Structure 1
Amino acid sequence: MTARLVLVGCGHMGRAMLSGWIDSGRIAANEIVVVEPNGDLRGKAAALGCKTAAGVEDLASDISPQIVVIAVKPQAIREVLAGYARFGNGATTFVSIAAGTSVATFESILGENTPVIRCMPNIPAAIGKGMMVVFANGHVGDKAQDFVSGLLAASGKVASVGDEKLMDAVTAVSGSGPGYVFHFIEALTSAARAAGLPDDTAAKLAVQTVYGAAVMAAESGEEPGVLRQQVTSYKGTTAAALDVLMGEERLTRLLTEAVEAARKRSVELGS
């Protein structure tokens, strides 16, 4: 069994990223081995053309991947990583997408000279619209970093931070952020229904309004605050609604509290 890349875990996020990598042509499916104990998930990886294994013990003794991507829950990181210690302190670069798990955790298990890239993706990576933020330790070479950045770019936008402590804030904003937006859509749908709109119309208006506004914010070149002002007529309907949302900075304060709660939880998961 040969492999350029080993993906450990093929749940929602792992499979989303895997599909993006293959669809982009940046890596061939037959260059990837997916290690996944769940038979159904392993079957989905095989259907994409990847080699699969139920566990690390099923990997060939002479396998030497360039990249090992760890896509398991933070609570399982230490147990899972121990099985991949033979790839540590060498040419293999480890990429982690586990929230709150520090580079130091990887180094303590795999060896202090192990190249490690910590990445926080989000679920829109499944449709190529994700936000991936990375932090790399000093052992990651330029070639490996460029290759990993290219893979991640297949799933959306890529940014980097120079201070690993900022990854907890990244997790709280873009990692968990889609959940906040989904709930906003739920709330806007509920408000539309309360205003008398039929259920299907309320749902369609809420989703398309959020989608259209997000695309406009991304592509117009204008700051969100400027766009808000452009759609807000003096003493008009939007102004009336924004008086509620922006009065005493209600929405800003609520989101700040939410992001801080998520950031603290990220810190806890890494401790």
Structure 2
Amino acid sequence: MGKTLRNFDGRLLLVGCGNMAGAMLDRWLAAGLDPALVAIVDPFAAPRAGLSHFASLAEWKDAGGGADWIMLGMKPQQLGEVAADLAPVATGAVHLLSILAGVSLADLAARFPQAKAQVRILPNLAARIGAGVSAVASVGDADDAAVMALLAPLGTVAPLADDLAMDLITAFTGSGPAFVFRLIESYAAAGERLGLSADDAQKLAMATFGGATALLESSGEKPGILIAQVASKGGTTQAGLDVLDEDGQLAALFTNVLRAARDRGRELADIARGEG
């Protein structure tokens, strides 16, 4: 699948352009998306050079705005504020895209029933450099090839038959980079506490995590196989692994981390529906 958007000719409206939507937009522009095809409605985001930026949907409509693709990139709690104004223009051939945590396809279909399709996307921040993970599911008459072409420049795309697992995937891949960043930060802090300089600890931590991930991906092996290649019985690595593996505490910790993030996604969905 191609990674370029030089031939993409659909008009795209971003409703909200915060960190995640902004990361996606940065990658799309780097992949050749024509800035003239993009409009942003966001009263808080700073205007971007070469892109049409509006403070409100009313302002966008007054300027003759139209879109073939509309992506919701604001906070899930704001869905109720924008849905009434947006629904009348999310009609006909429009694909309604959403990256809102916790907002289901059923919610989107109820809010925007006249759209050609409702598409739920769960990206992560590494999309900015084309190394992200985007889970996607849709209802309606989605142009699957066009959806995949739009998402391909962001990195790995995982099409799903439905969005039943989306709350967990939001926690697992959407929130996942933050959890990895925290691990690296904590690993570096531990090295610093034991005597490394702050700069060396940060540099070595990033290189260690990055190299290990690259090796795992290129090897095609399961992590346990590579662990066995590093650790020897009675050696230094095994001594550290014994601490990590004690009483299954590491697996339990990550289970609790993912459960908390997943459950918060469900709470946000209730708020978006006006039930929270």
Q: Give 1:220 shift.
A: 2.0
Q: Give 1:3 shift.
A: 6.6
Counterpart of 2:257 in structure 1 is 258
Counterpart of 1:13 in structure 2 is 20
Count of aligned residue pairs for this structure pair: 261
2:231 is the counterpart of 1:226: no
Aligned partners of 2:55 and 2:91: how far apart in 1? 25
SS in 2 for 1:91: coil
Aligned partners of 2:171 and 2:10: how far apart in 1? 34
Asked if the contact 1:35–1:52 (Cα under 8 Å) also holds between the matched residues in 2, the reply is yes
Asked if the contact 1:95–1:117 (Cα under 8 Å) also holds between the matched residues in 2, the reply is yes
> TM (normalized to structure 2)?
0.89
Aligned partners of 1:60 and 1:270: how far apart in 2? 28
Distance 1:248 1:128, change over 3 A: same
Counterpart of 2:55 in structure 1 is 54
Deviations 1:140-189 (A, max 9, x none): 33xx3222222222121111222312000101101111111111112111
Amino acid at match of 1:20: R
- 34, 38, 46: which one aligns with 1:32: 38
Distance 1:89 1:264, change over 3 A: same
Q: Give 1:112 shift.
A: 6.4
Deviations 1:228-254 (A, max 9, x none): 121112221111111111122211111
Asked if the contact 1:10–1:42 (Cα under 8 Å) also holds between the matched residues in 2, the reply is no
Asked if the contact 1:3–1:33 (Cα under 8 Å) also holds between the matched residues in 2, the reply is no
Aligned partners of 1:21 and 1:193: how far apart in 2? 38
Which runs of structure 2 are paired with 1:97-136 in the superposition (5 Å)? 97-111=99-113, 114-136=116-138
Deviations 1:207-265 (A, max 9, x none): 11111111222222112221112111222111111111112221111101111111111
Q: Give 1:84 shift.
A: 0.9
Q: Give 1:136 shift.
A: 0.7
Deviations 1:28-82 (A, max 9, x none): 11111111212xx3422xx1x2222221112246644221011001110121122
Structure 2, gaps ≥5 residues long:
1-8, 271-276
Distance 1:203 1:253, change over 3 A: same
Counterpart of 1:43 in structure 2 is 47
Counterpart of 2:238 in structure 1 is 239
SS in 2 for 1:15: helix
Fraction of identical pairs, as percent:
38
Aligned partners of 2:75 and 2:218: how far apart in 1? 34
Aligned partners of 1:66 and 1:113: how far apart in 2? 10
Range with bigger deviation, 62-71 or 7-16: 62-71
Amino acid at match of 1:29: P
Amino acid at match of 1:230: Q
Amino acid at match of 2:37: E
Q: Give 1:103 shift.
A: 1.5
Asked if the contact 2:16–2:72 (Cα under 8 Å) also holds between the matched residues in 1, the reply is yes
Counterpart of 2:4 in structure 1 is none
Q: Give 1:90 shift.
A: 2.2
Deviations 1:188-208 (A, max 9, x none): 112111221122111111111
2:208 is the counterpart of 1:209: yes
Asked if the contact 1:120–1:133 (Cα under 8 Å) also holds between the matched residues in 2, the reply is yes
Aligned alpha-carbon RMSD (Å): 1.8
Amino acid at match of 2:59: D
Structure 1, gaps ≥5 residues long:
none
SS in 1 for 2:165: helix
